[in-house]
Amino acid sequence: MRTYRYFLLLFWVGQPYPTFSTPLSKRTSGFPAKKRALELSGNSKNELNRSKRSWMWNQFFLLEEYTGSDYQYVGKLHSDQDRGDGSLKYILSGDGAGDLFIINENTGDIQATKRLDREEKPVYILRAQAINRRTGRPVEPESEFIIKIHDINDNEPIFTKDVYTATVPEMSDVGTFVVQVTATDADDPTYGNSAKVVYSILQGQPYFSVESETGIIKTALLNMDRENREQYQVVIQAKDMGGQMGGLSGTTTVNITLTDVNDNPPRFPQSTYQFKTPESSPPGTPIGRIKASDADMGENAEIEYSITEGEGLDMFDVVTDQETQEGVITVKKLLDFEKKKVYTLKVEASNPHVEPRFLYLGPFKDVATVRIMVEDVDEPPVFSKLAYILQIREDAQINTTIGSVTAQDPDAARNPVKYSVDRHTDMDRIFNIDSGNGSIFTSKLLDRETLLWHNITVIATEINNPKQSSRVPLYIKVLDVNDNAPEFAEFYETFVCEKAKADQLIQTLRAIDKDDPYSGHQFSFSLAPEAASGSNFTIQDNKDNTAGILTRKNGYNRHEMSTYLLPVVISDNDYPVQSSTGTVTVRVCACDHHGNMQSCHAEALIHPTGLSTGALVAILLCIVTLLVTVVLFAALRRQRKKEPLIMSKEDIRDNIVSYNDEGGGEEDTQAFDIGTLRNPAALEDSQLRRDVAPEALLPARRAPAAPASTDVRDFLRQRLQEHDRDPAAPPYDSLATYAYEGAGSAAASLSSLESATTDSDQSYDYLREWGPRFRKLADLYGAADGDRDS
């Protein structure tokens, strides 16, 4: 058996923002009288079965932003099992249950405890249930319902940007798009007009307008000129509720800049300009600057300058300075004050970038007049030609005039000019110049064959101002004169075979000539007159500057004549005629049957059975080698004879190097017999020197005997002079063989061995400081001093 129970949920939709002064359980005013119920079913065995519902209401609405002092009433939950005895308990769960939404567990009244904001959360999903307070078991199944927050206009429109920045070209047509602004409203766009935004312009008229629905800003005034005003600030308002009264609004600022277009032509601030420049200005020299003003900016303000007409169209040029947009007038060609003093030019300034839609405003260019005055300067002399070319014959005599150069001062003063030759270009001083009239003449003889062209420089200097000078090149060509005789092109030495036939060609001759005649060389060849009559050969002139030597007879004998010297006369056909004689050597040789030379030596034919040439050369080399060997042997033997015979330690020369004591002076007679020196007369005439081999000496010359009273010093001087005059004496120093000290010395002996016998008070203690090697020596000398003292 089923038991049907009914759960009644009542919800009153009241007026906006209701207020309550009595308990909500007893309040019924302000809600509709009609009730809508949700019927649920269940049994006592905890089996919840869904029964037939009479009508379902599962969605409720609540106004946001409630401002009353009491809780906002949402609705009432009621079950048909509720008998009013408090046995049932109503429970609410879901979004915000217990915090945002509370329920009276006895009466089932639901209230909102806080102000609700649809923009934060538009929908709340809750679950309601009635349970038995005593058993805790549900008497009705859980029912889910939705509370939607009704929107009110509590949010003003907000623009996506606080400040907008936009640009539009100047002179734009009305209605030209500038920028679009957008505002958003957080209210519900599906409920009423709270989110319906309308745009309007608060500031910026009459220059701009805005479309109310789209927020598109457009130009509203024709021909807005950037040059008059460039920046505009427009304030746009966005208002909800479709712009009606009571709607909320927000504003934004739009900064609009007019961009430049080329709507202004360049203009010169003055119509005439005047400049000065010296006539000495080289091409490319800037003279002055002109500038046309253009109200535009960027590439629209770029200006190009050009000279359109005028007297100096080919003398001057104008270029544009890209940084300053100025026209720089420069010199194009060299100026001359004496020829023209003033030039007038027409200079045009134009825009290279022109917009066709603004051509109706007029031509985008302007013209100014430029006057240029040329200033006179002291210029150097000017030659009548850029270069001079002169000619002179090579046989010209010294001081022959070649030509002249001319220069004059271009200034109005016409200062006199003097001429000179740059000696760096004429180091040999071959030419000279008349300083007054510029005549060039020779100072030395010329030779075309040595140097054909002479390139010199002539200097013209103002006499009144030597700093003003100019130079000109002078090219002097030396003309040829027939002053050189022709000669053989090479040295000719040929041969003729012994079995040669008559009229046989044995050699072709060629000639050269240092001269260079205008018509070319024409040489003639012939035998010298002294050899023409009895010659065995003839000369055949080929008329092409060559000649051939021909045999005149059949057969030649080299035993009779092995060599012929053939004098040939070579002449040219120029004026005056020059000729020379060259000699051709013709040797008679033995040839094979093909005419190839085999031998030209007559000696080989005289002794046909003798040795060959190679054998004779070998024999000659052997003879030369033998002679060289003999000469070397004789030289070595001669050198060997000059070596000293005595090589022992007693040799006088060695004593100088090898002795270890001072010697006894004149008392020592062991090394040398001093008695001989004291008695020069005792020297035997036949006595030989002990340091030279006897056979190497020439016969001794008799020297006059010295008197008995001759001093030893005079004797030595006499012998020294004799040896100096003797060409056969060997190069030994005779003084080295004597040990004579002399009569005595004021300093006495310098030997340290005799220092012990002196009475000196010398101290030898300093030797101890020299080290252990000298300490013993100090002890010896110190002990000796001590013994003397004692």
pLDDT 10s digits, 439-494 = 999 999 999 989 999 999 999 999 998 999 999 999 999 999 988 899 999 999 99
Q: For the chain, what is the largest distance between any 2 Cα atoms, rounded to a whole number of angstroms?
A: 199
Cα(330)–Cα(327) distance, integer angstroms: 10
Query: End-to-end distance of the chain based on CA atoms, in angstroms?
Result: 172
Structure tokens at 381: 């002399």
Predicted local confidence at residue 586, as pLDDT: 92
Cα-based distances in Å from 761 to 484, 749, 757, 774: 100, 18, 12, 19
Ranges 165-169, 343-347, 416-420, 719-723: which has the least confidence: 719-723
Instruction: Please compute the mean of the pLDDT values over residues 199-223 and round it to a whole number.
Output: 92
Q: How confident is the model at residue 191 (pLDDT cuts 50, 70, 90)?
A: confident
pLDDT, tens digit, 9 for 90 and up, residues 421-444: 999 999 999 999 999 999 999 999
What does residue 640 show for φ and ψ, rounded to 5 degrees? -65, -35
Q: What is the dihedral of CA 133, 136, 142, 148, to 10 degrees?
A: 50
Q: Is-contact 204 235, C-beta < 8 A?
A: yes
DSSP per residue over 154-195, as a string? ----EES-SEEEEEEETTPPTT-EEEE--EE--S-TTSTTTT
CATH class of 487-599: mainly beta
Predicted local confidence at residue 568, as pLDDT: 93
Q: How confident is the model at residue 343 (pLDDT cuts 50, 70, 90)?
A: very high
pLDDT, tens digit, 9 for 90 and up, residues 590-630: 998 888 888 887 544 344 445 567 778 889 989 999 999 99
Predicted local confidence at residue 692, as pLDDT: 45
DSSP per residue over 567-604, as a string? EEEEEESSSS--EEEEEEEEEEEEE-TT--EEE--HHH
Structure tokens at 235: 């304030």
Q: How confident is the model at residue 417 (pLDDT cuts 50, 70, 90)?
A: very high
Judged against a pLDDT cut of 70, whether residue 195 lies above it is answered with yes
Predicted local confidence at residue 654, as pLDDT: 43
Structure tokens at 584: 């051709």
Is the model more confident about 156 or about 390?
Answer: 390
Half-sphere exposure of 115 (CA within 13 A, CB side): 11
pLDDT, tens digit, 9 for 90 and up, residues 251-296: 999 999 999 898 888 999 999 999 999 988 999 999 999 999 988 8
Cα(768)–Cα(552) distance, integer angstroms: 112
**How are beta strands 304-310 and 249-259 bridged, if at all?**
unpaired
Count how many residues are written for the chain.
790
pLDDT, tens digit, 9 for 90 and up, residues 697-750: 344 444 455 555 556 778 888 888 887 777 766 655 545 545 555 555 554 554
Please give the single-letter amino acid code of residue 152.
I
Instruction: Please compute the mean of the pLDDT values over residues 118-135 and round it to a whole number.
Output: 85
Structure tokens at 15: 């007026």
Judged against a pLDDT cut of 90, whether residue 218 lies above it is answered with yes
Domain 272-375: CATH superfamily, name plus number: Cadherins (2.60.40.60)
Instruction: Please compute the mean of the pLDDT values over residues 99-124 and round it to a whole number.
Output: 83
In the CATH scheme, what architecture does the domain 158-259 have? Sandwich (2.60)
Predicted local confidence at residue 492, as pLDDT: 93
Q: How confident is the model at residue 25 (pLDDT cuts 50, 70, 90)?
A: very low
Q: Is-contact 109 25, C-beta < 8 A?
A: yes
Structure tokens at 734: 């005779």
Instruction: Please compute the mean of the pLDDT values over residues 508-531 and round it to a whole number.
Output: 89
Q: What is the dihedral of CA 21, 27, 28, 30, to 10 degrees?
A: 20
Average pLDDT along the chain: 78
Instruction: Please compute the mean of the pLDDT values over residues 500-515 and round it to a whole number.
Output: 91
Sequence ranges of the domains in the chain: 59-150, 158-259, 272-375, 382-479, 487-599
Judged against a pLDDT cut of 90, whether residue 764 lies above it is answered with no
Predicted local confidence at residue 655, as pLDDT: 46
Structure tokens at 103: 């329920």
Helix (H, G, I), strand (E, B) or coil at 624: helix
- The reported pTM is 0.43
What does residue 336 show for φ and ψ, rounded to 5 degrees? -140, 110
Cα(510)–Cα(492) distance, integer angstroms: 10
What does residue 242 show for φ and ψ, rounded to 5 degrees? 65, 20
Is the model more confident about 328 or about 360?
Answer: 328
Nearest to 501 by CA among 568, 591, 374: 591
Q: Is-contact 91 105, C-beta < 8 A?
A: yes
Q: Is-contact 378 466, C-beta < 8 A?
A: no
Instruction: Please compute the mean of the pLDDT values over residues 776-785 and round it to a whole number.
Output: 70
Share of the chain above pLDDT 70, in %: 76
Structure tokens at 27: 């309040």
Instruction: Please compute the mean of the pLDDT values over residues 644-651 and round it to a whole number.
Output: 48
Domain 59-150 in CATH 2.60.40.60? The answer is: yes
Most trustworthy range by pLDDT among 47-56, 512-521, 712-721? 512-521
CATH number of 382-479: 2.60.40.60
Is the model more confident about 43 or about 290?
Answer: 290
Is the model more confident about 223 or about 84?
Answer: 223
Consecutive H or E run containing 721: helix 712-725
Q: How confident is the model at residue 57 (pLDDT cuts 50, 70, 90)?
A: very low
CA 709 to chain centre: 98
Q: Is-contact 371 340, C-beta < 8 A?
A: no
Predicted local confidence at residue 113, as pLDDT: 84
Predicted local confidence at residue 10, as pLDDT: 39
Please give the single-letter amino acid code of residue 15.
Q
Judged against a pLDDT cut of 60, whether residue 680 lies above it is answered with no
Handedness of CA 596, 601, 602, 608 (dihedral sign): negative
Cα(46)–Cα(270) distance, integer angstroms: 110
Instruction: Please compute the mean of the pLDDT values over residues 20-37 and round it to a whole number.
Output: 32
Other C-beta atoms closer than 10 Å to the C-beta of 279 total 20
The set of residues, in sequence order, having a beta carbon less than 8 Å from that of 753 and lying 6+ positions away, is: 662
Predicted local confidence at residue 675, as pLDDT: 56
Predicted local confidence at residue 45, as pLDDT: 33
Phi/psi zone of residue 399: left (φ > 0), alpha (ψ -120 to 50 degrees), beta?
left
Do 59-150 and 272-375 have matching folds? yes
Judged against a pLDDT cut of 50, whether residue 233 lies above it is answered with yes
Cα-based distances in Å from 598 to 109, 494, 555, 590, 608: 158, 13, 16, 5, 14
Cα(592)–Cα(497) distance, integer angstroms: 9
